[in-house]
Amino acid sequence: VSVLVVGSVALDTVETPFGKRKDILGGSAMYFSVAASYFSDVKLVGVVGEDFPERGVEILKRHNVDITGLQEEPGKTFRWGGKYHTDINHRDTLFTDLNVFEKFSPKIPNSYKNAEFLFLANIHPALQLEVLSQVDKPDLIVTDTMNLWIDTTLGDLKKVIQKTDILLLSDSEVRQLMDEPNLVKAGRALLKTGPKYVIIKKGEHGAMLLNADNVFFAPGFPLEDIKDPTGAGDVFAGGFVGYLHQSGAITEKTLRQAVIYGSTLASYACEDFSLDRLDKLTLDDINGRFKVFRDLTAFEV
Amino acid sequence: VSVLVVGSVALDTVETPFGKRKDILGGSAMYFSVAASYFSDVKLVGVVGEDFPERGVEILKRHNVDITGLQEEPGKTFRWGGKYHTDINHRDTLFTDLNVFEKFSPKIPNSYKNAEFLFLANIHPALQLEVLSQVDKPDLIVTDTMNLWIDTTLGDLKKVIQKTDILLLSDSEVRQLMDEPNLVKAGRALLKTGPKYVIIKKGEHGAMLLNADNVFFAPGFPLEDIKDPTGAGDVFAGGFVGYLHQSGAITEKTLRQAVIYGSTLASYACEDFSLDRLDKLTLDDINGRFKVFRDLTAFEV
């Protein structure tokens, strides 16, 4: 009856052409949870320091996110700082202070262990394996990763991928991981190593859902005002996994819809800093933009 | 009753990860003409040198392209050389020998002047203006351009754009031209300078059709085997303009279909070097892939 997410909870310092914010709420598990909460009950596992602000807990509670698994440890909360270019699709990381996240060891509360869907946000593959060893067999395991783990921890990453049902990664990551420049070939090769589906995230260029037989392509939403793209990938994952769970079935039909719901929520999230826009969505907002996505690629045969 | 194209006819030397070819048929007008010929009668204006091979004339004749306006001048044919990277979406130009193209002055034969649709391929804006001064008022003027003319001949380029109905350019070019990193904003700003529609070409990431009210997005076809992407933009234009002409109406409906037909032909063209694949297409091939494009973005609302 719920979706379990294990990932980071962070305080971000973000500068974009549209402003600068210090110590705003962020982290993959935060973004994922609030997005998924529009469709499903979410249980979060993560770690914060003693300085984590009350507003961080409040937003999770407001979205009915179960925070039994949100550990508080002595020290400071994980902090990330980044600056976006004029072309907001590019950014530089200014600092990464792991703080309490450095010694994070995910503990899955007993009340979480029967979660039906598991989202392993982008954390160290060894931690992702620790999580997998603690849960009952979930119906669906969705995993996110990044180039850092391909470079440094390929062995553990491959073990995680082998146990994953749906793998999310970027176009450059799938090319790097499979050492194959053609995206479709790289995705198809990856499918032979474990996952039933691969979702290739192309940032502003959209996302591709791939299995052995089908390709589905979701465009990036043509936003005129992007204030802050931080967390868009995690929000996408939240909308995707949350909707898929709510739909009650994992079929080509629901997977395609889930990709569009993920894209819908991600596009909204970019319209303001941190979780500010995501916090205030209505189901009408979500379903309205879902339909605009339909019109965006519709043509008569 | 026809489509007029003015552009380059070239002999290309191309190296991709899949092979190397010397002095193969190329040039914007060649690629455009063969693509458009699947839908409409095409009249070509261009220039070749004394060394232009008979096979170049044959392929145009085989596709019923009117070559009354193909001038032969003393000297050598325009030659271009390029090498593609392992990631075939990137290339380096190795040489550009303009040869007879350097003094090209387009002369529109009298039998061409009542052409209904005009495609101004990517040539010097001053030459594009010369063409416009020679034709009767066409029903539709479609123009292609490139960053070189934005850098060096902005005044003439703006005059051409002002007279253009549908402008084709790449994502980086529209950003540069309007000095606006947001693609939709840049496109919308461009629409205020003349064109009724702008088509933003994003290479492997597809194409976006934009007017003041609507956005249509066509994905790049997920090709597993790309042998040579040279000319893909001109083939896209050929399929787009050719189909639009054949459809007999310029509406949001036919424009969207035309973008997909353009994408369909462009995807086929990349499957082999030069015009080799494009030369041998059937209408069944074209309509089959057109429908695959439908499935690629289809989802249930």
pLDDT of residue B11: 98
What DSSP character marks residue B122? Answer: S
Note whether A202 contacts B: Cβ–Cβ < 8 A. Answer: yes
Average pLDDT, chain B: 97
Note the pTM of the prediction, 2 decimals. 0.95
- Considering only CB atoms, A257 lies closest to which of B181, B224, B300, namely B300
Query: Cα(B300)–Cα(A136) distance, rounded to whole angstroms?
Result: 33
Taking residues B128-133, report their average pLDDT. 98
| Contact present, A7 and A60 (Cβ < 8 Å) | no
Evaluate if residue A86 carries a pLDDT over 90: no
Q: Do A297 and B219 touch (CB under 8 A)?
A: yes
pLDDT by residue (tens digit) across B22-33? Answer: 999 999 999 999
Q: By mean pLDDT, which of A11-15, A283-287, B46-50, B181-185 is the weakest?
A: B181-185
Angle between helices B28-36 and B252-269 (to 10 degrees): 120
CB B207 within 8 A of CB B218: yes
* Interatomic CA distance for residues B16 and A162, integer angstroms: 34
Q: What pLDDT sits at residue B1?
A: 78
A208 and B222: CB-CB below 8 Å?
yes
- Give the pair of three-digit tokens for residue B52: 């232009």
Residues of B in contact with A87 (CB under 8 A): 175, 181
What 8-state DSSP symbol labels residue B219? P
Over range B11-37, report the average pLDDT.
97
| A-B Cβ pairs (cutoff 8 Å, strict) | 91
What confidence score (pLDDT) does residue A1 get? 78
In 3D, which of B6, B2, B21, B34 has the Cα closest to residue B232? B34
**What pLDDT, in 10s, does the model give residues A104-116?**
999 999 999 999 9
pLDDT for A147 beyond 90: yes
Strands (E), chain A: 3-6, 10-16, 19-26, 42-48, 65-72, 78-84, 91-97, 117-120, 140-144, 166-170, 197-201, 207-210, 215-218
Among residues B191, B239, B193, B236, which one has the least CA distance to residue B215? B191
pLDDT tens digit sequence for A242-279: 999 999 999 999 999 999 999 999 999 999 999 999 99
What local confidence, expressed as pLDDT, does residue B95 receive?
A: 97
pLDDT digits (tens, 9 = 90+) for B197-254: 999 999 999 999 999 999 999 999 999 989 999 999 999 999 999 999 999 999 999 9
* Average pLDDT of the segment spanning B47-69: 98
Contact criterion met (CB < 8 Å) for A294 and B299: yes
DSSP for A173-185, written as a single string: HHHHHHT-SSHHH
What residues form DSSP beta bridges with B119? B5, B142
Q: Do residue B217 and residue A222 have CB atoms under 8 angstroms apart? A: yes
* The pLDDT of residue A29 is above 90: yes
At A119, the pLDDT band (50, 70, 90 cuts) reads very high
Per the CB < 8 Å rule, is A217 touching B296? yes
As given in the structure block, the two tokens for residue A34 are 């609030």
Chain A residues with CB inside 8 Å of B297's CB?
Answer: 216-219, 297
CA distance B252 to B258: 10
Residue A88 sits at the chain B interface (C-beta within 8 Å):
yes
Average confidence (pLDDT) over A179-197:
96
Residue B226 touches chain A, beta carbons under 8 Å: yes
For an interface test with A, the pick among B88, B176, B198, B217 (most A C-beta atoms closer than 10 Å) comes out as B217
Per-residue pLDDT at B116 exceeds 90: yes
Tokens coding B136: 């009767």
**What tokens were used for B165?**
């109905």
Q: Is the pLDDT of residue A89 over 90?
A: no
A222 touches chain B (CB under 8 A): yes
pLDDT of B102 > 90? The answer is yes
Rg (CA), chain B: 18
Helix H or strand E encompassing B55: helix B54-62
Mean pLDDT over the full length of chain A: 97
**Mean pLDDT score, B275-286:** 98
Residue type, B263: S
